[in-house]
Structure 1
Amino acid sequence: MPNATLARFIEHATQLSRQESEPCQCVATLAPFMMELLAHAGDFLEAHHYQSDPFHYARNLVYQAPDDNLSLYALVWSPGQWTPVHDHGSWGVVGIVEGVLEERSYVCLSADRHRDEGIELVKGGMILLPPGAVTSFVPNPDHIHVTGVPAERPRAVSLHLYGRMMNNYHIYDVEAGTRQFVEVEHNG
């Protein structure tokens, strides 16, 4: 990890993830550090971190903690690419490097949030995240949303720090009221 800003960010994130038992405090403390990291993204993001995929958004691994308690990705969103409706099972801090990322939230009205069927989700608000913007989420209640770039907007690139190795999560079928646990890959 040759870049000093990235190394400092990872060091702060590692310390906080070990010290803070409350995810809300962890993301509140890390958000300003993410803003600083964004200001220096050009110093440590390399060509392979900007790798895109013609069929879906690309997840390019920037950092993975040896104990898998942190992961940092550069996500590349080509016009028209969206996530499925999903959650995280973790806290996270997201910063926008380039373009405008759109996030559409869902609210879970179901009393039992741990089941895979009978899930009632309704659309919530929408956020437009321009370059330099930082947002965060916590796992309880889990942040359920869809994120992407409309076809008429240019590419977006975002940095995503998660409080675990983000290699699985739930995707939701809003109409059917179900969710499914999925494993995901990344470019390393």
Structure 2
Amino acid sequence: MIEINDTCAEDPPQADAFRMILIVGIGTLVCTIGIVLNSFLLLSLRRLDVFRSNLLYLFFLACLDILVELCFMLIFPSSLVWDYFRVEFLYTCWHFYIKYVSTVGQVLIAASTLLIVAASFERYICSLRSSIQFSPQRRFVSISIVGTCALFMKGSVFFELELQILPHCPPFQNLRLDLSEITRRYF
């Protein structure tokens, strides 16, 4: 469970300009570049028969990477923008979707890591005996196991995040979520 203050401050802490530049500016730029480059990779892989080769792992890894970058952009920059500019609509939306996006992000990060391990394990097995080949069905089973394991490992994040309403606080102070807990989980 996330620690939440039971009292609201007179003046809520505002994001400073350095954090805005670092997270909103540079972080969003890096995520956007990552999304574009992974999309180019997916476009180049569509010409190949990825579903019958070991490029299937790379295909799914690029897809997961795009989704992780989108989750980052929905969690951190949007939080700083509503805190800095006092955008009430973004504030309301962020508090509605944070549990879902944070959980999906955690599951995707775990799935990406396990997918790299699965691909490395297949390459290791193939290097021991050059005659061993993995069938596409085995790769799909492996990817399914990776997804299931990631869901079991990190799916509980949804139940650990809890927002509390402080009825005596003004609108921008009544829902408080400590971002340090989410940041610690991501990094």
TM, length-normalised to structure 2: 0.24
Bigger fraction of residues in strand: 1
Higher relative contact order (CA 8 A, sep 6+): 2
Could you say which structure has the larger radius of gyration?
A: 2
TM, length-normalised to structure 1: 0.24
Bigger fraction of residues in helix: 2
